[in-house]
């Protein structure tokens, strides 16, 4: 039966149930991990994201599919054309809105962002699981004792309230999706979710309407429904036998009082109408309380039915499975399941024939026991037909289901399901195993790991209590995580001298392993290199600084701590500064300071004056106090550390006198005095020549001049010169030959 849901807009707002996917600087946080909503509704998916501050994010989008080039933005997906909008709510926040939802929109939605280079990109995995469902009314039970269920293919979020309508009138509002009442054949029912009453299911009813003439056995039956689409084909059953298949919903026939009729739509035979009696209330019928039963492999199951033979006496009854008709002697005559070798020792019948109930019990269930099982009875005249639908048994094993088990990211919440191929009853107790060791405290079909960590990596299996020997196959759980213990090592580990080579190696523990390494220098925007190792050959002082690496895998990226690289080198660019910087005046003080770039710093300074061999001083500064002209000259310093030495360029120290004219005066005065003395000497000499005679006369001239003479002044040699006695004694002349000098004082001296 085709059921159709027509609606407009249902908006599901997802509030703060935060799931952090990721650590190490790159992450996506979704407000909700999964939800279920209705066909025709609108949904909003929100997230926030983080990334290292060294990047600039320029591209953000949501996607469900990939092509050869990678993820395809929903805004470019033709299946979502005109139904998708993006909105940035806040800084690093993003919302996806999808309108007019369709069941084909059921998918996992992921958010992705990229930086300006396109080389850095991150996807929040896993994403948000969206299930889109329609509403249907399911009818179970027999005759007037039926139960209606407003069903969906997934569990709607936010615990919805269901509204039931009978013949178009609202009759019930409850959080339960079930509705029970005393039903008449003329009633129609539909349901909706509160708040979206416009998305109500079509009215559903399926009944046999009887039209007959008084005192006549000719009747016309109508398989009454709402107007179905696609021109369905109707199937008619009489006393359990298929008697007609036609596109007409009408069926006419001669009937007996014991006959019962029911109808179904082809393709939905399990949704047949209850059997109705044409005459009176006592007619043949077989009813199964369960259309399907799920049972665990190795366990036991009871399949029951109720039956009515009217006023006829039942002569025999049995259970059978059409699946095994190939082994029947006559394929048109079902054979008792108890005689089937495949069920030997595993089948028994229970129930009370007087009450019209029969139960088939099958023990030690096997997967090949999955089949449809039917009950039939025979009377003295006829029997219940075998074509009427029975109860379908599904035998299942257990299996652990992990959504995308190879892409579980550490730090997320994870749920493992102990799953079966059919729905087991709710009150079962489960047992969980990890690496074949029982996990204590987990007794439901769900194993929650909140949050999952790398220590949860292992092999998981589950079982149902009291059937521990029937545990599921093991399922491997692989937890992926971002970088841990990201660090940088330096080789060689000792001192780094300029001109040598250095290798930096980035180490990081991650699963999956790091697939991209990038090297950075602090305060330098652009990367220095890529690869796990970064080698610097012929290293120079300009390479000194702090370095770090960024390690990245598909989960995210992480930055290491800073590692210093200290390049050692001999002195370079050595210079001298002079203080004060102006004119240097004789008698003042001057300080020379030596400046040099070296690592380690200069530990020895020596001062020299050009053309002077011995050092003038030591220490970074050389101070000359009370400077004199002799200090004038060129000076330089020699600097030294453990790696070498270097001389600076020389500087000239020029010393100026306080009275610059004094030397000139001294020279002039000296020159004048010398010239005067020379003139006096010449004059005396000339005078002497003009007043004397020959040499003999001169020798006899008295040495005692006239005291009144203005030309000569008598000299007492002993008193005028201390050399006198010395000269006499040194000469050693004999007394009779020595010149005689009159020592008598002159009148002038007296």
- 191-199 average pLDDT score: 78
Tell me what percent of the residues of the chain surpass a pLDDT of 90.
Answer: 24
- pLDDT interval class at 663 (50, 70, 90): low
pLDDT greater than 90 at residue 291: no
Predicted confidence at residue 211, as pLDDT, reads 55
Per this entry, what is the length of the chain? Answer: 750
Three-class SS state of 535: strand
Predicted confidence at residue 687, as pLDDT, reads 79
- 479-498 average pLDDT score: 89
Residues 268-279: tens digit of each pLDDT: 776 677 777 766
Highest mean pLDDT among 326-330, 405-409, 440-444, 600-604: 600-604
The answer to whether the beta carbons of residues 503 and 576 sit under 8 Å apart is no
Residues 295-308: tens digit of each pLDDT: 888 888 999 888 88
Return the higher-pLDDT residue of 142 and 61.
61
Predicted confidence at residue 370, as pLDDT, reads 92
Highest mean pLDDT among 20-34, 74-88, 216-230, 728-742: 74-88
- pLDDT interval class at 183 (50, 70, 90): low
Residues 642-655: tens digit of each pLDDT: 999 999 999 999 99
Residue 464 contacts by C-beta under 8 Å, 6 or more apart in sequence? 296, 299, 398, 424, 428, 429, 430, 431, 470
- pLDDT interval class at 497 (50, 70, 90): very high
For residues 674 and 445, give the distance between their C-alpha atoms in angstroms, rounded to a whole number: 132
For residues 418 and 399, give the distance between their C-alpha atoms in angstroms, rounded to a whole number: 6
Burial of 126 (0-12, 13-18, 19+ CB in 10 A): buried
- pLDDT interval class at 414 (50, 70, 90): confident
Tell me what percent of the residues of the chain surpass a pLDDT of 70.
Answer: 78
Predicted confidence at residue 144, as pLDDT, reads 52
pLDDT greater than 70 at residue 149: yes
The answer to whether the beta carbons of residues 391 and 373 sit under 8 Å apart is yes
Highest mean pLDDT among 81-85, 185-189, 488-492: 488-492
Predicted confidence at residue 564, as pLDDT, reads 94
Q: Which residue has the tokens 């220590």?
A: 455
The answer to whether the beta carbons of residues 633 and 610 sit under 8 Å apart is yes
The answer to whether the beta carbons of residues 430 and 462 sit under 8 Å apart is yes
Return the higher-pLDDT residue of 678 and 185.
678
Pick from 282, 285, 223, 222: which is nearest to 257 by CA? 282
Predicted confidence at residue 113, as pLDDT, reads 87
Three-class SS state of 609: strand
- pLDDT interval class at 714 (50, 70, 90): very low
pLDDT greater than 70 at residue 724: no
Q: Which CATH number fits domain 399-477: 3.30.365.10, 2.60.40.10, 2.40.30.20, 3.30.360.10?
A: 2.60.40.10
pLDDT greater than 50 at residue 77: yes
- 169-196 average pLDDT score: 76
Pick from 253, 298, 244: which is nearest to 279 by CA? 253
pLDDT greater than 70 at residue 748: no
pLDDT greater than 60 at residue 21: no
State the average pLDDT for the chain.
79
Burial 44-64 (b: 16+ CB within 10 A, else e): ebbbbbbbeeebeeeebbbbb
Return the higher-pLDDT residue of 116 and 570.
570
pLDDT greater than 50 at residue 188: yes
Enter the tokens of residue 267. Answer: 């393709």
- 596-604 average pLDDT score: 93
Residue 709 contacts by C-beta under 8 Å, 6 or more apart in sequence? none
- 496-509 average pLDDT score: 93
Burial of 250 (0-12, 13-18, 19+ CB in 10 A): middle
Residue 431 to residues 231, 450, 469, 517, 583, Cα–Cα distance (Å): 50, 18, 11, 44, 98
Q: Which CATH architecture has domain 11-133?
A: Sandwich (2.60)
For residues 189 and 425, give the distance between their C-alpha atoms in angstroms, rounded to a whole number: 28
Residue 494 contacts by C-beta under 8 Å, 6 or more apart in sequence? none
Q: Percent helix, strand and coil across the chain, each rounded to 5?
A: 15, 45, 45
Three-class SS state of 554: coil
- pLDDT interval class at 4 (50, 70, 90): very low
Highest mean pLDDT among 204-218, 311-325, 662-676: 311-325
For residues 148 and 206, give the distance between their C-alpha atoms in angstroms, rounded to a whole number: 12
Does CATH number 3.40.640.10 belong to domain 163-280?
A: no
Predicted confidence at residue 9, as pLDDT, reads 32
- pLDDT interval class at 665 (50, 70, 90): low
Predicted confidence at residue 698, as pLDDT, reads 38
What is Dmax (Cα atoms) for the chain? Answer: 215
Tell the CATH topology of 485-565: Immunoglobulin-like (2.60.40)
Enter the tokens of residue 489. Answer: 């090592």
pLDDT greater than 60 at residue 313: yes
pLDDT greater than 50 at residue 190: yes
pLDDT greater than 70 at residue 154: yes
- pLDDT interval class at 692 (50, 70, 90): low
Predicted confidence at residue 207, as pLDDT, reads 55
The answer to whether the beta carbons of residues 486 and 558 sit under 8 Å apart is yes
Does CATH number 2.60.40.10 belong to domain 285-396?
A: yes
Show the CA angle centred on residue 655, arms to residues 650 and 660, nearest 5°.
155
Return the CATH class of domain 569-656: mainly beta
- pLDDT interval class at 735 (50, 70, 90): very low
Predicted confidence at residue 27, as pLDDT, reads 87
Residue 37 contacts by C-beta under 8 Å, 6 or more apart in sequence? 10, 12, 43, 101, 130, 131, 132, 133, 156, 157
Please indicate whether the domains covering 11-133 and 485-565 agree at the CATH topology level: yes
- pLDDT interval class at 664 (50, 70, 90): low
- 703-732 average pLDDT score: 44
For residues 2 and 226, give the distance between their C-alpha atoms in angstroms, rounded to a whole number: 10
Q: Which residue has the tokens 């807009």?
A: 9
Q: Which residue has the tokens 């009144």?
A: 708
Predicted confidence at residue 487, as pLDDT, reads 92
pLDDT greater than 80 at residue 164: yes
Residue 219 to residues 68, 244, 253, 458, Cα–Cα distance (Å): 65, 15, 6, 68
- 616-634 average pLDDT score: 92
Predicted confidence at residue 734, as pLDDT, reads 41
- 580-599 average pLDDT score: 92
Q: Domain limits of the chain? A: 11-133, 163-280, 285-396, 399-477, 485-565, 569-656, 712-750
């Amino acid at each position: 039966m085709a059921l159709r849901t027509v609606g407009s807009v249902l908006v599901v707002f997802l509030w703060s149930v935060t799931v952090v996917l990721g650590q190490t600087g790159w992450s996506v946080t979704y407000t909700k991990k999964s939800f279920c909503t209705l066909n025709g509704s609108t949904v909003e998916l929100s997230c926030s994201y983080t990334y290292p501050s060294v990047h600039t994010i320029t591209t953000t989008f949501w996607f469900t599919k990939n092509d050869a080039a990678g993820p395809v933005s929903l805004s470019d997906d033709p299946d979502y054309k005109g139904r998708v909008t993006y909105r940035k709510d806040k800084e690093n926040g993003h919302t996806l809105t999808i309108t007019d939802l369709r069941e084909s929109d059921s998918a996992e939605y992921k958010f992705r962002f990229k930086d300006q280079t396109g080389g850095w990109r991150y996807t929040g995995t896993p994403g948000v699981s969206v299930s889109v469902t329609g509403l249907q009314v399911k009818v179970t039970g027999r005759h007037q004792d039926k139960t209606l269920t407003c069903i969906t293919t997934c569990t709607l979020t936010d615990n919805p309230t269901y509204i039931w309508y009978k013949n178009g009138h609202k009759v019930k509002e409850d959080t339960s999706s079930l509705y029970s009442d005393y039903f008449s054949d003329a009633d129609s029912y539909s349901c909706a979710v509160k708040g979206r009453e416009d998305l109500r299911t079509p009215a559903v009813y399926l009944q046999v309407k009887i039209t007959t003439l008084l005192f006549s056995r000719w009747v016309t039956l109508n398989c009454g429904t709402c107007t179905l689409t696609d021109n369905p084909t109707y199937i008619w059953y009489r006393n359990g036998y298929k008697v007609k298949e036609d596109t007409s919903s009408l069926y006419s026939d001669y009937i007996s009082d014991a006959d019962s009729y029911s109808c179904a739509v082809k393709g939905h035979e399990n949704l047949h109408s209850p059997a109705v009696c044409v005459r009176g209330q006592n007619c043949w019928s077989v009813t199964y309380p369960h259309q399907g039963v799920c049972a665990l492999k190795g366990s036991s199951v009871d399949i029951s039915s109720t039956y009515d033979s009217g006023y006829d006496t039942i002569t025999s009854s049995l259970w059978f499975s059409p699946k095994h008709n190939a082994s029947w002697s006559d394929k048109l005559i079902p054979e008792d399941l108890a005689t089937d070798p495949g069920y030997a020792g595993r089948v028994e019948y229970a129930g009370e024939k007087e009450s019209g109930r029969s139960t088939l019990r099958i023990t030690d269930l096997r997967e090949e026991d999955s089949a449809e099982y039917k009950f039939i009875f025979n009377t003295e005249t006829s029997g219940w037909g075998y074509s009427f639908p029975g109860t379908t048994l599904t035998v299942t094993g257990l299996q652990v289901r992990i959504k995308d088990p190879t892409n579980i990211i550490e730090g997320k919440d994870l749920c493992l399901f102990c799953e079966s191929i059919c729905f087991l009853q709710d009150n079962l107790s489960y047992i969980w195993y990890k690496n074949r060791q029982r996990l204590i405290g987990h007794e439901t079909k769900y194993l929650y790991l909140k949050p999952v960590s790398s220590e949860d990596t292992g092999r998981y299996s589950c079982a149902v209590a009291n059937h521990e020997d029937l545990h599921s196959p093991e399922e491997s759980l692989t937890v992926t995580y971002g970088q841990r213990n990201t660090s940088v090592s330096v080789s060689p580990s000792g001192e780094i001298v300029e001109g040598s080579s250095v290798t930096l190696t980035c180490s990081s523990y991650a699963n999956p392993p790091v697939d991209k390494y990038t090297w950075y220098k602090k305060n330098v925007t652009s990367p220095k290199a890529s690869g796990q190792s970064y080698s610097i050959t012929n290293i120079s002082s300009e390479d000194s600084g702090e370095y770090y690496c960024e390690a990245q895998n598909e989960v995210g990226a992480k930055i290491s701590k800073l590692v210093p690289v200290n390049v050692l080198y001999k002195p370079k660019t050595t210079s001298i500064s002079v203080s004060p910087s102006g004119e240097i005046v004789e008698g003042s003080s001057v300080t020379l300071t030596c400046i040099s770039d070296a690592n380690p710093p200069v530990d020895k300074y020596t001062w020299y004056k050009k053309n002077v061999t011995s050092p003038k001083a030591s220490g970074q500064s050389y101070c000359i106090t009370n400077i004199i002209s002799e200090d004038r000259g060129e000076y330089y310093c020699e600097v030294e550390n453990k790696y070498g030495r270097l001389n600076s360029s020389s500087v000239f120290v020029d010393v100026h006198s306080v009275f610059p004219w004094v030397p000139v005066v001294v020279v002039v005065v000296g020159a004048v005095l010398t010239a005067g003395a020379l003139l006096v000497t010449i004059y005396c000499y000339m005078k002497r020549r003009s007043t004397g005679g020959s040499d003999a006369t001169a020798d006899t001239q008295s040495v005692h001049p006239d005291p009144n003479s203005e030309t000569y002044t008598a000299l007492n040699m002993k008193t005028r010169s201390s050399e006198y006695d010395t000269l006499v004694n040194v000469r050693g002349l004999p007394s009779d030959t020595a010149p005689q000098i009159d020592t008598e004082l002159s009148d002038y001296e007296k």
